[in-house]
Amino acid sequence: MRSRLLLLSICLSLTAATAQAQQELQWSGFLPGDTTFTSDAIHHITGHLTVPQAITLTIQAGAVLKFDAEGRLRVEGTLVARGTADAPILFTSSLPSPYPGS
């Protein structure tokens, strides 16, 4: 019993540490230069986000992009987004419990 409690405690600690490790970055306005949305952070689009001409936005496999209701992504430059079957790119709502179309 004691070993089960210890194992449960370790699992909960690892889960909490993993959840805390993924930071949330907020984006809106114009990207000032070439930018990469990495898979180790949540990319929260809070307003209109524009990729200007001559600028590249690269979205890594496994990246998560959460959009507010006002969130928009406009690409005038270059967008490189290559997810994989094992690490798809997720475009979703910023709502706590998103539903289809939200």
Q: Look up the pTM and report it.
A: 0.76
Distance, in Å, from the CA atom of 45 to the CA atom of 93, rounded to the nearest integer, reads 9
Note whether residue 3 is domain-resident.
no
Nearest to 29 by CA among 72, 65, 84: 72
Q: What is the pLDDT of residue 35?
A: 98
48 within some domain: yes
Evaluate whether residue 99 is within a structural domain.
Answer: yes
User: Which range of residues forms the domain containing residue 89?
Assistant: 24-102
Q: Is residue 77 part of a domain?
A: yes
Report how many domains make up the chain: 1
Written as six digits, the tokens of 11 are 């699992």
Is residue 17 a part of any domain in this protein? no
For every one of its 102 residues, what pLDDT tens digit does the chain have, with 9 covering 90 and above?
554 433 334 433 433 444 456 899 999 999 999 999 999 999 999 999 999 999 999 999 999 999 999 999 999 999 999 999 999 999 999 998 887 777
**Confidence (pLDDT) at 22:** 83
Backbone Cα Rg of the chain: 17
Q: Looking at the domain assignment, is residue 39 inside a domain?
A: yes
Taking a C-beta distance cutoff of 8 angstroms, is the pair 92, 66 a contact? yes
Q: Is 6 part of a structural domain of the chain? A: no
pLDDT for res 21: 60
**In a domain? residue 52:** yes
